[in-house]
Amino acid sequence: MNKVRSGIKKYTPYVLLLLGMWVIVTFFIAGGINTNPKVINPNEPTKIYYFTVFHVMFGKSFKVGSGTLTYFKPNFLGFMILIPMIVGLIISTINQVQYKVRHLISGLLLLISGISIFALPHKANLGGAWLDTSQVTITGSAVTIVAGTLILVFSAINFVLLFLKDKK
């Protein structure tokens, strides 16, 4: 039993780091934000625009002729998601920091990040490309729900590791 606990304490942060990197990669490639397409362009109701989580965090513009249409402006909440997530995942693997301190800090940072992911669609910073911004509905898709849930689970795991002790 002692070897199992020791293995869990030793390797779990690295597994969380790998899974956390996977979550961040899905922010780049998966459509994490759903919008109502008729508000974007009523002349082409079948055309679907895909917005990823990073588009909502850091802004998204399209070049149209000589102009630029901005759908999302950069959002401060994106930094409240990404920076604590990355720091929280990395700090739990740094052996130079005391064991309890690193898992406490990591758990708190991941908790902040996980809660912020669920708030992102409601706090989107809209640009001027929308025809009627009052009619824009932005919701999180499965990507944001899964990412937020995983990050909250990672936070809980860090809190469990904080109290897991080896019996000698």
Domain contains 47: yes
Higher pLDDT, 146 or 1: 146
The pLDDT value recorded for residue 130 is 77
Domain contains 25: yes
Domain contains 23: yes
The pLDDT value recorded for residue 33 is 76
Domain contains 168: no
Q: Where are the alpha helices (DSSP H) in 31-98?
A: 37-40, 53-58, 76-91
Smallest CA-to-CA distance from 105 within 93, 120, 114, 92 is with 92
Largest CA-CA distance found in the chain, in angstroms, rounded: 71
Q: How many domains does the chain have?
A: 1
Contact of 140 with 118, CB cutoff 8 Å? yes
pLDDT tens for each residue of 82-101: 999 999 999 988 888 888 88
The pLDDT value recorded for residue 43 is 56
Smallest CA-to-CA distance from 138 within 76, 82, 57 is with 57
pLDDT at 23 over 90: no
pLDDT at 44 over 70: no
pLDDT tens for each residue of 62-75: 776 777 878 889 98
pLDDT tens for each residue of 113-160: 999 999 888 888 888 877 777 778 888 888 888 889 999 999 999 898
Domain contains 143: yes
Domain contains 133: yes
**Dist. CA 13–CA 89, nearest whole Å:** 8
Phi/psi of residue 44, nearest 5 degrees: -125, 75
What is the residue range of 42's domain? 2-163
The pLDDT value recorded for residue 120 is 87
**pTM of the full predicted structure?**
0.82
